[in-house]
């Protein structure tokens, strides 16, 4: 007798949807590290300008735009290997980008968030006041990047992809 193959979520190499729980844990870890880093190095820390952390908002906007394109192409059944269609390999690459961006956004949101909270505790320090806008934009940019990445990942799913609990998302499609 041969053993039955393991369920999909227990097999090696299975790539499932990004879990918000995991991103929250990553953000919490980054927050702790960010807090420790700024607490011990505040005197050597440069002033954080708004434009240094705004790149996260740009990345979030780009991923949101990509999600709109992929969503439309999947809805119109324009994914395939024809020259006018969205190639499936590009969709797979976008999923990988979305997963990596979600982790980056979680790290940024946690780290910048912790630094922001630390700076707001220092009310009378001029360099802390000058850096508050940059850290707030960084934290918001991290959150926006996580949201855009999760949406892009969702848009890259085929209409009959199973959900996290193994159920088919659209039972009529199966």
Find the domain containing 105 and state its range: 19-158
Classify residue 2 as left (phi > 0), alpha (psi -120 to 50) or beta.
beta
* 149 is a domain residue: yes
Q: What is the pTM of this model?
A: 0.81
* 132 is a domain residue: yes
* 115 is a domain residue: yes
Residue 86: what are its φ and ψ, rounded to 5°?
-80, 120
* 94 is a domain residue: yes
- 55: Cα separation from own chain's centroid: 14
pLDDT single digits (tens) 110-168: 999 999 999 888 877 777 888 889 999 999 999 999 999 999 999 988 776 555 555 55
* 3 is a domain residue: no
CB atoms within 10 A of CB 69: 13
Q: Is 74 exposed, middle or buried (0-12, 13-18, 19+ CB in 10 A)?
A: middle
pLDDT single digits (tens) 44-94: 878 888 898 899 999 999 999 999 999 999 888 888 888 888 888 999 999
How many structural domains compose the chain? 1
């Amino acid at each position: 007798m041969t053993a039955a193959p393991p369920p999909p979520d227990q097999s090696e190499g299975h790539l499932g949807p990004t879990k918000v729980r995991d991103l929250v844990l990553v953000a919490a870890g980054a927050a702790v590290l960010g807090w420790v880093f700024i607490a011990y190095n505040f005197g050597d820390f440069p002033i954080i300008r708004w434009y240094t952390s705004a790149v996260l908002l740009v990345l979030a906007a780009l991923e949101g735009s990509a999600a709109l394109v992929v969503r439309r192409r999947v809805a119109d059944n324009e994914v395939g290997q024809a020259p006018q269609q969205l190639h499936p390999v590009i969709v797979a690459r976008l999923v990988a980008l979305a997963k990596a961006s979600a982790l980056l956004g979680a790290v940024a949101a946690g780290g910048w968030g912790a630094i922001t909270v630390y700076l707001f505790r220092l009310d009378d320090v001029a360099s802390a006041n000058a850096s508050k806008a940059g850290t707030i934009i960084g934290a918001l940019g991290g959150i926006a990047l996580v949201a855009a990445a999760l949406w892009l990942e969702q848009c890259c799913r085929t209409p009959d992809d199973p959900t996290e609990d193994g159920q088919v998302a659209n039972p009529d499609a199966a």
